[in-house]
A and B are shown apart, each in its own frame.
Chain A
Amino acid sequence: MKGSAYTIGFAAVLGSACALLLTAAASITKPYKEANQQAEEARNILQALNVPRQDGTSWHGASSAEVVKAREDNVKEKKKGDLTTYVYEVNGETKATAIRFAGPGLWGPVKGFLALEPDMKTIRGMTIYEQEETPGLGGEIVAPWFRDQFVGKSVVDAAGVPGIIISMSGEPAANKVDGISGATMTCDKVQAMLNEAIKSIVEEK
């Protein structure tokens, strides 16, 4: 006859065994997980900065080791006050500067990198590496067509006021890109967080 003591004992042993196993597994896999996160970040920084790859293809197909090394070789991290910038340098010459941008999207945090040419006005590239937006609608912010429209755009308008516009309506402008139909809120939020990042670059100069 299995009494209460046995039941409690069984539960305790099973519970501890599971918790122990999982904690062990979590610590074993932690370095791999962190390496993956680092590689993902490196891939996005390199993509945004438009650092050319040896064979000319995109960084997204590269191995973790390759991107981490490429980031180490080509990108320097600089801190100015609160702002951390990622500078792509070749032989001491600054080719591009990138900063992180992040903010609340509609359903979850949105994180990415925005890279500017040495004139600090023209966009070199933009990548988003974390988002939870609605697939097919807001989720299109990671689609190549959306991303690529930022290349070559300006972060200041005709009057020199910093700020980009993501919108489906209005006149085309040097600092304006198309929005996503059916995803106005997501676009507004992405616009807000990009402008926040742009503001912090301008203020630090």
Chain B
Amino acid sequence: MVCATCEPKGLCGGKGLVTFKEGAWANNPLAIQVLGICSALAVTSRLENSLVMGAALIFVCVGSNLIVSILRKHTPHRIRMVAEVAIIATFVILFDLILKAFYWDMSKQLGPYVGLIITNCIVMGRAEAFALQNPPILSIVDGIANGVGYAVILAIIGFFRELLGAGEILGHAVPGFTSWYTPNQLMILAPGAFFALGLVIGFFNAIKGPDPEEKK
């Protein structure tokens, strides 16, 4: 299957669309692979923070997948994990520096959680499981897919937590909403995060249906 962007040759050897669908939906990093939970819980108290974190993950995942893939035939097997960590960390710090320079308020709000993207199992997982065995362009697609799959779920959780917890969306009060609904601050605090994540994963599974293998 060759997607419209690269027709007719297909830069990804025809596997682009499949890889994207797999990474964003069927093998969604948060809901199916259950990775990257820490930041999903920590930053989703507000929609804006969730969006920035999602962007950060897409940036880091694409960047690290690309470099790891380019270097895959030259990386000595023994130090491959260390090399992956170094590459991932470099991209994370780059993002952090950009954030501090151009989006100061957000940098203060995200705090240590930007640095923790380095240990975010999604990025490491994709580098190890995909980028090491696949060509660069396809790795970029995989990075985008996983990043987007993660970012979308993050945005959904963030949307509901901010709406139900503070009666606001992106910092703006929703007109008329708070007249009949009293914001439940618990949604903004820790327990609310766990509930929101659990419910979103549950619904994701309900929509997706059980794995074809499990149906047997």
A and B directly contacting (CB within 8 A)? yes
Q: Contact check, A32 vs B102: say whether CB atoms are below 8 A apart.
A: yes
**Given A135-B188, A136-B188, A10 contacting B75 (CB threshold 8 A):** yes
Total number of residue pairs linking A and B with CB closer than 8 Å: 57
A159 within 8 A of B: no
Q: Identify the closest chain B residue to A22 (Cβ).
A: B93
Q: Identify the closest chain B residue to A130 (Cβ).
A: B108
**Given A29-B98, A33-B100, A36-B101, A6 contacting B86 (CB threshold 8 A):** no
Cβ distance A179 to chain B, nearest Cβ, rounded Å: 18
| Interface size, chain A (Cβ < 8 Å) | 22
Q: Contact check, A36 vs B100: say whether CB atoms are below 8 A apart.
A: yes
**Given A32-B102, A136-B189, A26 contacting B89 (CB threshold 8 A):** no
Cβ distance B102 to chain A, nearest Cβ, rounded Å: 7
Q: Contact check, A36 vs B74: say whether CB atoms are below 8 A apart.
A: no
The contact string, 1 if C-beta is below 8 Å from chain A, for chain B 71-87, is 10011111100110011
Q: What would 11 A/B residue contacts be, using CB atoms closer than 8 Å?
A: A2-B77, A7-B79, A10-B74, A11-B83, A14-B83, A14-B86, A15-B86, A21-B94, A22-B93, A29-B100, A33-B97
- 10 other A-B residue contacts (CB within 8 Å) besides A10-B75, A136-B188: A10-B74, A14-B71, A14-B87, A25-B93, A32-B101, A33-B100, A33-B101, A33-B104, A36-B100, A40-B104
Chain B interface residues toward A at CB < 8 A: 45, 71, 74-79, 82-83, 86-87, 89-90, 93-94, 97-98, 100-102, 104, 111, 185, 188-189
